[in-house]
Structures are given as C-alpha cells and as structure tokens.
Amino acid sequence: MAEFWEASFRDKQTMWGFEPADSAIAALNLFRENRLNKILIPGFGYGRNAKIFTDAGFEITGIEISETAIELAQKHYGDNVRVYHSSVTAMPFDQEVYDGIFCYALIHLLSEKERAKLIDDCYRQLKPGGYMVFVAISKNDAAYGDGEELSKDRFETKHGVLLFFYDSDSVEKEFGRYGIIEAKEVDEPAKNIGNKPSQKFWFITCRKQEK
C-alpha cells in the first residue's frame, strides 16, 4: 500500500484540494462541543482535513504512510503539526493518550486483522471520556461490487485498491465493543459538486468510558 500512495501523491499532489471533508467539519464540531484538545489523525495525507483543527486551536498529531504527502503538508501548513511517517498498522508510535481521534476514509483500505488492530490501537490511546470518529465506505455506495471480490464485501478495484464496504452489521461487529454511541450513513460531500456524485460513508462515533 505504501508504494501505491507514495506514487499517487507524487503524481497527483494535492489531489483532493484543500477544502475539508464535511465529515471533518462534523468531527470538529463534536470535539469542540466536548472541549477536547489533543487529536490524533491516522491517515493524515497532506493535511486537507487537519487544518480546520489546527485553526481552531487543537493540538494535532498525524500518521501518514507517504513521505511526499507529509512534505506537501509541511509546504502548505508549516511544521506546527507532528506527523509520524509510517503505516497505521505499526501503531503505537508514542505513549501519548489523545482526547479525540479522527480517521477519515482509511479503515476500509485495510484487511480484517488490520482493521481490528487499528480500532484497538486507537482505543488504547484514547483518554477515558474521549471520542473517536471513523469514516468508512458503505455498501450503499455506487462503487460496491466493482472489481474482483476477494472476500465478503471486500473488492479490488481496477486501480489495485482494496476496499471493504461496511453495513450496519459489520459496523456493530467491529466497533460495538469500543463504546459506539452513534453510527449513521452520510453523503460525502453532503451536496453533489458538478457532475461528480457524492459517496456513501458510515460516520461512526465511539466514546471511551470514564474510569
């Protein structure tokens, strides 16, 4: 996966632009309402979804597999964000505990074992009372069923990307024991832009029980 994303960011640079995803704005509002401060962003990319958090005064740590993406982030946003250059599968990278975790459109790229480890690793680094938000592609997305089926609800696209598509059962199975408080399907972006249709995602919110 590292080679794929490194090549993608080298070739397409800031491919998603600089406007934050609607789900990032929703997570920002959730974290703000609950007065969180220290946030971890696995799958940091070039910081598209991080800037609204830093602009709002949050302390951000990222994890990113592509060195080029990190260089792009530093070019556009400076060095005020710590980003670990590695795969999320190698977590944890520090002994920090975080008030909040925001993981956008990453977990569905992983295998079943990798997904379970990521959720568990994030939960372990979450403070009691903290929130974590995962945004994952839905079986109701138009891309479901495209490509070669590798296992139940997991496909390899024509570009070589492996995607696992979630439904309510798999959301409950993978997140249910991690303090899930809400799981809802959302359109991303909320409104179609030009001729490009929105994608269907699950917006999954978990809260760690206070001791």
Of the candidates 24, 21, 60, which has an alpha carbon nearest to the alpha carbon of residue 40?
Answer: 60
C-alpha–C-alpha distance, residues 26 and 136, integer Å: 14
Give the pLDDT score at 5: 46
Give the pLDDT score at 158: 81
- ∠ CA 1-76-193, rounded to 5°: 70
pLDDT in tens, 41-54: 999 887 888 889 99
Mean local confidence (pLDDT), 27-52: 92
Give the pLDDT score at 74: 77
The better pLDDT of the pair 10, 112 is held by: 112
Cβ–Cβ < 8 Å for 165, 112: no
C-alpha–C-alpha distance, residues 147 and 160, integer Å: 9
Tokens of 202: 């699950």
The mean of the pLDDT values for the chain is 88
The better pLDDT of the pair 1, 105 is held by: 105
pLDDT in tens, 128-184: 999 999 999 999 999 999 989 999 999 998 878 899 999 999 999 999 999 999 999
pLDDT in tens, 58-82: 999 999 888 888 788 777 766 677 8
Task: Check whether the bond before 20 is cis (ω within 30° of 0).
Answer: no
Tokens of 130: 């903290």
